[in-house]
Amino acid sequence: MKNEGLSGGSYKWWLLAFLFVTFFLEQASRQIYNAALPQIKIDFASFGVTNTQLGVVGSVFGAVFGLALVGSGIAADFIGRKRTLVAGTILFSVGVFVSGFAHGLFLMVAFYGVINALGQCCIAPPSYSLISQYHDNTTRSTAMSIFQSAVYAGVIISSTVAGKLSSMGEGGWRNAFWVFGGIGIVWAAVMQIFMRDTPQISAVKDGAETEATIKDGILELVRKPTAILIALAFGMFIYGSFGIRNWMTLFMKEEFADKGLTAVSFHSVFWMFLGALLGCLATARLIDRFGRGRPRIRLDVSVVGFLLMVLPIVWVGSSRSFAECCAALFILGLAIGVYEAAHYPAMFDCIAPRYRSVTTGLTGCMAFVIGSVSPVIVGWMSEHLSMRAGIMSLGAFFFAGALILVPAQIWFFKRDWVGNEKA
């Protein structure tokens, strides 16, 4: 199917709304464990769990999520994006729901770390592919930033709800899993009924349409050093993101003991993701407005975003008051928003439209496998050094992300840019 007409009309915004809600539920479900972790730690105390062991849940989730992204990207490109989205939503919602019945670390790893991850990995590849297909360069960064804002809304609302339910006493945290899991199952049915099954764009080879293959999709990535470097840098970001999202609630609860669990669950994410929302939307609009004629602008903005994250994360880990910590989280969030507004658009500047689901899966696999070790390592550091040291160490990975992208800026982007292939 050709491109004509796909970017016109109102459906591209209705589609964005469907994808926004799906991504909201996915990210909300991903945050429940982190928000409820202080109470889960208490309830699981009879099993003798340590911070390192509690971090295993997040690390298993990240590893399974990353490895399964390859399959979900291929499924989205070659089986169908709507089918992948609906099946993934059902699977992660069931995984979250049954996690509410977990008694002990093993079942939490199995339900939340494995089943939940297998479902969640099916959301991003088809979503980003659909958005890039329906939105051209005049609205793509804006559309993706709106989609990305579902992360911030999902995390904030989930943390608030999970923190409130967890503060109700022993076992209260289980209700959060049941609530969000149940809503997700219902939403999957809504998508199945009302969402279009959009055909993929045809592959083009030597100026003519041709049948796409999985091999071609893999080669599309392998032949693009810029895309590989973006994926490796994304791994540094995921490492830092996993570390702070997994441990921030517990960090604030232990460092500022006068604050209740509901307040800590809210503030540990609200300021960071408020900043990220503002930074992402503002950066995306600036890119769309001033980026014409500057093909490399999204890659350059990614580097700037990484560099802007380094000092704020150190400030978060070293903060000595609750207000100071919240201020540092807000500044960190602004920097995260700058990076996230540019990351996927920069990747898609180098990848042909037909293969954007499979390459999103492949690059996501690389990134999440790299980042999956963060919860365990930060948990280990909290036991042998301090949680502050673990949080501050994340800054080194943000700085590494910026360094990884420099060769792409200097040597590879001009050759890999899809605009050169069109020319």
pLDDT (tens digit per residue) in 96-106: 999 999 888 88
Query: What pLDDT does residue 6 have?
Result: 39
Does the pLDDT at position 342 exceed 90? Answer: no
The H or E element that residue 205 is part of is strand 203-205
Domain with 228 in it: 11-198+212-422
Structural domain tally of the chain? Answer: 1
Query: What pLDDT does residue 9 have?
Result: 61
Cα angle, residue 113 at apex, residues 355 and 261 outer, rounded to 5°: 120
Cα angle, residue 401 at apex, residues 338 and 60 outer, rounded to 5°: 100
Helices then strands (H, E): number in the chain?
18, 2
Does the pLDDT at position 138 exceed 50? Answer: yes
Please state, in angstroms and as integers, the Cα–Cα distance from residue 396 to each residue in 311, 314, 404, following that order: 10, 9, 12
The per-residue pLDDT of the chain, averaged, comes to 84
Highest mean pLDDT among 107-121, 130-144, 280-294: 107-121
Query: What pLDDT does residue 210 have?
Result: 53
Tens digits of per-residue pLDDT, 384-412?
999 899 999 999 999 999 999 999 888 98
Cα separation, 265 vs 163, whole angstroms = 5
Cα separation, 208 vs 300, whole angstroms = 33
Q: Which of 64, 50, 157, 168 is nearest to 113 (CA)?
A: 64
Query: What pLDDT does residue 208 have?
Result: 44
Note whether residue 27 is domain-resident. yes
In single-letter form, the type of residue at position 178 comes to: W
* Residue of 69 and 87 predicted with greater confidence: 87
Please state, in angstroms and as integers, the Cα–Cα distance from residue 401 to each residue in 128, 225, 317, 367, 413, following that order: 22, 15, 20, 11, 16
Mean pLDDT in residue range 43-61: 84
Note whether residue 62 is domain-resident. yes
| Confidence grade of residue 206 (pLDDT, cut at 50, 70, 90) | very low
| Confidence grade of residue 146 (pLDDT, cut at 50, 70, 90) | confident
Does the pLDDT at position 217 exceed 80? Answer: no
Note whether residue 347 is domain-resident. yes
Kindly report the CATH number assigned to the domain that includes residue 363. Answer: 1.20.1250.20
Note whether residue 3 is domain-resident. no
- Our measurement of the distance from residue 345's CA atom to the centroid of its chain's CA atoms, rounded to an integer in Å, reads 14
Tokens of 214: 């999985």
Query: What pLDDT does residue 255 have?
Result: 87
Note whether residue 410 is domain-resident. yes
| Confidence grade of residue 20 (pLDDT, cut at 50, 70, 90) | very high
| CB under 8 A, 24+ apart: contacts of 348-351 | 348/128, 348/132, 348/140, 348/418, 349/295, 349/298, 349/299, 349/413, 349/417, 349/418, 349/419, 350/224, 350/226, 350/227, 350/230, 350/413, 350/416, 350/417, 350/418, 351/220, 351/221, 351/224, 351/227, 351/418
Q: Which of 413, 217, 185 is nearest to 299 (CA)?
A: 413
In single-letter form, the type of residue at position 49 comes to: V
Q: Which of 367, 322, 341, 231 is nearest to 282 (CA)?
A: 341
Helix (H, G, I), strand (E, B) or coil at 339: helix
Assign 3-state DSSP to the chain and report helix, strand, coil percentages, each to 5.
Answer: 80, 0, 15
Cα separation, 322 vs 320, whole angstroms = 7
Cα separation, 363 vs 407, whole angstroms = 18
Cα separation, 42 vs 47, whole angstroms = 10
Query: What pLDDT does residue 292 have?
Result: 72
Neighbouring C-beta atoms of residue 3, cutoff 10 Å: 12
Q: Decide: 335 and 351 in contact? Cβ < 8 Å.
A: no
Neighbouring C-beta atoms of residue 373, cutoff 10 Å: 17
Share of residues in the chain with pLDDT > 70 (%): 90
Q: Would you give the DSSP letter of residue 45? A: G
Cα separation, 300 vs 349, whole angstroms = 12
Tens digits of per-residue pLDDT, 219-261?
777 788 888 899 899 999 999 998 998 888 888 988 887 887 7
| Confidence grade of residue 422 (pLDDT, cut at 50, 70, 90) | very low
Neighbouring C-beta atoms of residue 385, cutoff 10 Å: 12
Note whether residue 206 is domain-resident. no
Note whether residue 1 is domain-resident. no
At residue 308, what are phi and psi to the nearest 5 degrees? -70, -20
| Confidence grade of residue 336 (pLDDT, cut at 50, 70, 90) | very high
Query: What pLDDT does residue 214 have?
Result: 66
Query: What pLDDT does residue 3 have?
Result: 38
Q: Decide: 175 and 165 in contact? Cβ < 8 Å.
A: yes
Query: What pLDDT does residue 12 have?
Result: 80
Note whether residue 102 is domain-resident. yes
Mean pLDDT in residue range 49-53: 84
